[in-house]
Structure 1
Amino acid sequence: MDFSNIKLIASDMDGTLLDPQHQLSPDFYPVYEALKAKGILFAAASGRQYYNLLNLFEPIKNDIVFMAENGSYTAFQGEEILVQAMPLETTQQLLQKARTVPGVYIVLCGKKTAYVDNTAQEFMDQVKLYYDEVQVVEDLLQITDDEFLKIAICDLAGSESNSNTYFQEERTHLQVTVSGKIWLDICHREANKGVALQAVQKKFGITPEQTMVFGDYLNDLKMMDHAHFSYAMENAHEDIKQAAKLRAKSNTQNGVVEVLRQVAGE
């Protein structure tokens, strides 16, 4: 396969580039340096918080693009490329409705920090994986002095079959996405990884034909439409496998890095 025209590679994190322990393979950095030497830009595309991604990629944080919060916040070298925040009124309506879903926990994702008003251990164990800046507050509805990028619902019963079913009406004016087995994300209508990818392509003058993407879950679906080289992980959701043109080995087998080596010519 001819990878010679590739200028941009965007990869999801959990279930994709990261292993099942949510760790970045030490093999990634040497391959990344080879890609950088070829003038290829790398983008971390994730439902994770921006600050979490900055720390995850600390050695190269000034060299790569961050498409955080499912594309709601996209930045390069500290410069914002795209911010898709929800109005305060909409955010508060969503919080009130989310509280009616039994057995779930809520993360209010602001530009400054993430907010939680429940500290149950099973919930916080999940929060600390994806959010490095977290503030515990008495009541999420009292938070008004931030820009709200996302409401993340942690649904340990399974988001696709449970909490996802409560927000059918919101799909007409918001982005409601099953982003993992236990996560449901609700964002601005235009906020998704596909829109973020287009914004990055526009900023750097890169075409879909020069773009490669990797994903495993439903929040990666919109990215697949804007890259000629679209890869579903072997462990991906069936809808991603249907949408992607190509297949990579599972994240347990370091599938993304294996493809990146081919792009780098190693």
Structure 2
Amino acid sequence: MIKLVVTDLDGTFLNNKGSYDVELFKKVYAEMQQKGVTFVACTGKQCERVEKLFDEHGKGIWILGDSAARIKKDGEVIKEFSMDKDLALKAIDRIQDFDKTMTLIVCASDAAYVHSSISEDMYKVVKGSYERVIKTDSFETIESRFIKITVFDTEGRSTALRAHVEDTLSGQIYIVDSEAKWLDITALHTHKGETVKKLQEMLGVTYDETMSFGDGENDVELMAIAKYSFAVSNACDNTKKAASFITKSNEENGVLLTVQKILDLQ
């Protein structure tokens, strides 16, 4: 009996335009609620951006946002896993030492912060994943808790950047190059897999009662927390290898159609 459905958003639940089939979602989500199945959006996006994405259709959805460093439900912050500020600033120094032109997004408990010098084009990219964005002249002046550091690199050097940061901070932070252009840094042991485990404990749901969906490198851990783990057909090789099953792509409503089939069986 499935009681928990956890899905990544970009490249998995969302199509390549960053949207989803609203009518199909409403239908499937209503059936999930009727059968007592909890729906979880587990994503690198800011929780508030996810709230806007689902809008009035999102009542009751659990959001594991900012790369699962924050948990929200119905507008309430349930839990946050913050970074040590000094350690976060060391990571920022390493990133800027690699290349100062990369777009840095410092996610804090109140907003996502970007440098005041950010171009309009890059600001639009940031707004695609972050609802609350504040420009600052210095990340050191941020007074709220540091949650996550994200880097966007138009040249796709996230793997090389990861190695550069890990050279001095390995074992002190969690770092993943989720895509060639995207890199995320959170507190040690803070990632999608661990946060979902905490949610499972909170809800009293087991591994055997969980379904998960993903596509990127940062979804590999998500495949390990569910007996019924699915990689969408457009997923990276590592996520496909870690998944128990392969389903249709994000362009084919793979997540919703799979959930619908499973719900019909129970």
Measured against aligned partners, the alpha-carbon deviations of 1:218-253 in whole angstroms (never above 9, x if no partner) come to 111111111000001111111000100001111111
Following superposition, the deviation at residue 139 of structure 1 comes to 1.4
Measured against aligned partners, the alpha-carbon deviations of 1:200-235 in whole angstroms (never above 9, x if no partner) come to 111110001000000000111111111000001111
Instruction: Specify the alignment match of 2:17 in structure 1.
Output: 21
Counterparts of 1:223-234 in structure 2, within 5 Å, are 223-234=222-233
Instruction: Specify the alignment match of 2:253 in structure 1.
Output: 254
Q: Secondary structure at the match of 2:21?
A: coil
Please report the RMSD computed on the Cα atoms of aligned residues, expressed in angstroms: 1.5
Of residues 96, 108, 112 in structure 1, which corresponds to 2:110?
A: 112
Distance in 2 (CA, whole Å) between partners of 1:150 and 1:243 is: 25
- Percent identity over the alignment? 27
Q: Secondary structure at the match of 2:186?
A: strand
Following superposition, the deviation at residue 101 of structure 1 comes to 2.0
Q: Does 1:64 align with 2:61?
A: yes
The runs of 5 or more residues in structure 1 that have no matched partner are none
Number of positions where the alignment pairs a residue of Structure 1 with one of Structure 2: 261
Aligned residue identity for 2:98? V
* TM-score, normalised by the number of residues in structure 2: 0.93
Q: Is contact 2:103-2:118 (8 Å) kept? A: no
Following superposition, the deviation at residue 125 of structure 1 comes to 2.3
Q: Is contact 1:152-1:186 (8 Å) kept? A: yes
Q: Is contact 1:178-1:184 (8 Å) kept? A: yes
Aligned residue identity for 1:124? Y
Following superposition, the deviation at residue 160 of structure 1 comes to 3.7
Measured against aligned partners, the alpha-carbon deviations of 1:150-170 in whole angstroms (never above 9, x if no partner) come to 000111111444322322232
Counterparts of 1:143-222 in structure 2, within 5 Å, are 143=142, 145-169=143-167, 170-222=169-221
Distance in 1 (CA, whole Å) between partners of 2:65 and 2:132 is: 13
Distance in 2 (CA, whole Å) between partners of 1:55 and 1:125 is: 16
Q: Does 1:89 align with 2:83?
A: no
The runs of 5 or more residues in structure 2 that have no matched partner are none
Q: Is contact 1:95-1:141 (8 Å) kept? A: no
Q: Secondary structure at the match of 1:172?
A: coil
Counterparts of 1:50-61 in structure 2, within 5 Å, are 50-61=47-58
Distance in 2 (CA, whole Å) between partners of 1:174 and 1:91 is: 9
Q: Does 1:31 align with 2:28?
A: yes
Following superposition, the deviation at residue 84 of structure 1 comes to 1.0
Following superposition, the deviation at residue 140 of structure 1 comes to 1.5
Q: Secondary structure at the match of 2:223?
A: helix
Q: Is contact 1:111-1:146 (8 Å) kept? A: yes
Aligned residue identity for 2:241? Q
Q: Secondary structure at the match of 1:263?
A: helix
Q: Does 1:8 align with 2:1?
A: no
Alpha-carbon distance change, 248 to 159 in structure 1, aligned in 2, over 3 angstroms: farther
Aligned residue identity for 2:174? Q
